[in-house]
Structure 1
Amino acid sequence: MKLATTYLGLPLRNPLVASAGPLSQTVEGIRRLADGGVGAVVLYSVFEEQIRRQAEADRALEELHADAFGEALSYFPDLPGLADGDVPADYLRLLEDGAEAAGVPIIGSINGSTRGGWTQYARQLQDAGAAAIELNIYFVVGDISLSGREVEQRHLDIVRAVKQAVSIPVAVKLSPYFSSVGNMCRQLSEAGADGLVLFNRFLQPEVDVDALDVEPEVELSSQYEGRLPRTWIAALRGKVSASLAATSGVRDADDVVRYLLAGADVVMSTSALVRNGTEYSGQMLAGLEDWMAAKGFDSVDDFRGLLAVRHQDENAYQRAGYVTALEKAKSTYGSL
């Protein structure tokens, strides 16, 4: 079976990619992911806040000693602005060593929300050996005076700035919470994004009724969460030039197949590997090959996008699916 594929212009041995998460925090973890069989590894995200805190600490150190010896001022480096701090050295070292140890493409990941600093961060990841960069734009709008257009423009400005700063491919991990997801994806692709990762999972805190407090919680994804990104991947296949990466809701080989049928170029997973171990990627790939053999497919290209939306009127297609689902539910549960 031919599992080789291409993502962001990068040749991969198979379409299963380890997404950003706790398993890529060490060189050994990266090596184990690669040995498990994945086609590429997305490094855990370096956070904008982490970079800014380091810049603030450096600035505080400079100010603390600035008046001690006037002639010593030249010893202090020219520190960048808070938003233009350096990516932590340990992250860059992990990226460099991980790329050498893995034998598969390593994609650096930046998690932030503001425009400042992204270009410098991206250049540093490129210099450290990243095969590509994933912009994990985590922007939950708490300011209700901010318009949807302004939110969209922030994403587009970040993509354009980073694309001008680096020569390696750039993917955007975005949320599903746009008024027109498909149009936003098209704008990002036209702005230069080489890939779209669908979708980011926003933190949804829980309310503690006893403590009268809000508790931040992070849970592994469930299989059901794959339905939303699959819907949009099927709708976008062939309509944007950017590569399409699926993430969330991957439990087993069947979910990998589902995403590929919808039109995904690669399928990303973290939760399944955290639950079952890094070697579980080999089981998912074996399951993919078994399914391909049973269906008579020789390569993933033979069936990728087989169930993508090809109707002239995409709105009618989505509406028909909605009505059909309700009719099925009515026969199962009664009138809704």
Structure 2
Amino acid sequence: MTELTTRWLELELRSPLVVGASPLTDDLDALKACVEAGAGAVVMHSLFEEQLVAEQMAAHRFIDSRINMDAEARSFFPESEVFEMGSGSYCRRLELLRNALDVPVIASLNGISPGGWTQHARELEQAGAQAIELNLYDLATDPSDTADSLEQRQLAVVQSVVEQVNIPVSVKLSPFYSALPAFVAGVEAAGARGLVLFNRFYQPDMDLDELSLSREVVLSSSAELPLRLHGMATLFGRTTLEMAASGGVHNGDDAAKAILSGATAVQVVSAVLAEGPQALARVTEEMKRRLSGMGYGSLAEARGVLSLENAPNAQAWERLNYARLLHGWK
């Protein structure tokens, strides 16, 4: 059977299957069951820039509203320990997971602009994070915000976080860059060590009866995987960054396809939320059986075999194939 050990973000993993960022972080028993079922690492849910800034601003507003109440005002300021500002509770959860799980635990930061909040990356490292996943979640709604300005802002965020820590930083990207390889080159130059492809954007639906926006989490399906495969296949061999697939992995064939496209790790969330931790055991067995049947003794042998540079019919990844598909849709 195929040997599943892999090296991702300088971490030795016994399996490429990783529990991606999700509400599972809050359920220690579920995470233990995921590790027992074969997870090679765990990514915590994100600590958001907006969350950090909002807590800091709330504390400042509280103090500023009382600073000039009278001449003795400064003498009854609350101690700073009164406020839970920043990453305190997140770090405590991180420490708990590190002590309870025997696989690497990766912290997650989510932000859109460089600033003081990125200093919390150092606190995550001190709390035991073995790597940081930086989630670049940025929705352009301002007509004056150009693609170049947005990308330069994001690269500044990457560099700012990388400069705070000595542990590897992986960057989780959206699929909506007009020139993904060029932006990834910028991410690599900024000092990141890995990529996660791709982020699933929050997309509120409309409730026509209530004339409001509905907020419901919609789990992924295997139909979302080809977008990830295309991104990884295009980048494999053109960047030194290690890649992880995220979104659309529900069975062993999905995981095998991600490896063949160039993935070093494969994040799984929706399948676990829908089926429970046993989904990881099922995907692991199916992936091993598929790769072994194809003759691969290790993940390294299979990685990138069907990438743009290595596929026997590489044109299938490119634009020319689009015209052929349209003519052959029947």
Q: TM-score, length-normalised on structure 1?
A: 0.90
Matches within 5 A, 1:91-240: 91-240=90-239
Paired with 1:300 and 1:171, the residues of 2 have a C-alpha distance of 20
| SS of residue matched to 1:246 | strand
1:41 aligned partner, one-letter code: V
Paired with 2:104 and 2:128, the residues of 1 have a C-alpha distance of 9
Partner of 2:306: 307
Query: Given that residues 87 and 120 in structure 2 are in contact (C-alpha distance below 8 angstroms), is that contact kept between their aligned partners in structure 1?
Result: no
Query: Given that residues 121 and 161 in structure 2 are in contact (C-alpha distance below 8 angstroms), is that contact kept between their aligned partners in structure 1?
Result: yes
Query: Given that residues 112 and 157 in structure 2 are in contact (C-alpha distance below 8 angstroms), is that contact kept between their aligned partners in structure 1?
Result: no
Partner of 1:41: 42
Paired with 2:268 and 2:317, the residues of 1 have a C-alpha distance of 29
Partner of 1:10: 11
Paired with 1:61 and 1:247, the residues of 2 have a C-alpha distance of 41
Paired with 1:198 and 1:22, the residues of 2 have a C-alpha distance of 19
Aligned residues: 326
Query: Given that residues 168 and 193 in structure 2 are in contact (C-alpha distance below 8 angstroms), is that contact kept between their aligned partners in structure 1?
Result: yes
Query: Given that residues 86 and 120 in structure 1 are in contact (C-alpha distance below 8 angstroms), is that contact kept between their aligned partners in structure 2?
Result: no
Deviation at 1:65, TM superposition (A): 4.4
* Change beyond 3 A, Cα 1:142–1:79: farther
Supply the RMSD in Å over aligned alpha carbons.
Answer: 2.4
Partner of 1:320: 320
Deviation at 1:184, TM superposition (A): 1.0
Paired with 2:274 and 2:266, the residues of 1 have a C-alpha distance of 17
| SS of residue matched to 1:45 | strand
Paired with 1:63 and 1:315, the residues of 2 have a C-alpha distance of 63
Paired with 2:221 and 2:77, the residues of 1 have a C-alpha distance of 55
CA displacement 1:2-56 (0-9 Å, x = unmatched): 1011111211111111100011124333323222211110001112222222223
Q: Single out whichever of 32-41 and 260-269 deviates more from structure 2.
A: 32-41
| SS of residue matched to 1:172 | strand
Paired with 1:95 and 1:113, the residues of 2 have a C-alpha distance of 23
**Runs (5+) with no aligned partner, structure 1:** none
**Runs (5+) with no aligned partner, structure 2:** none
CA displacement 1:227-262 (0-9 Å, x = unmatched): 111101001001011111111011111100010111
Paired with 1:114 and 1:319, the residues of 2 have a C-alpha distance of 34
Paired with 2:15 and 2:233, the residues of 1 have a C-alpha distance of 20
CA displacement 1:276-305 (0-9 Å, x = unmatched): 101211111111111122222211111111
Paired with 1:75 and 1:223, the residues of 2 have a C-alpha distance of 53
Paired with 2:16 and 2:39, the residues of 1 have a C-alpha distance of 8
Paired with 2:82 and 2:327, the residues of 1 have a C-alpha distance of 63
Deviation at 1:99, TM superposition (A): 1.0
Partner of 2:24: 23
Sequence identity, in percent?
A: 36
Q: TM-score, length-normalised on structure 2?
A: 0.91
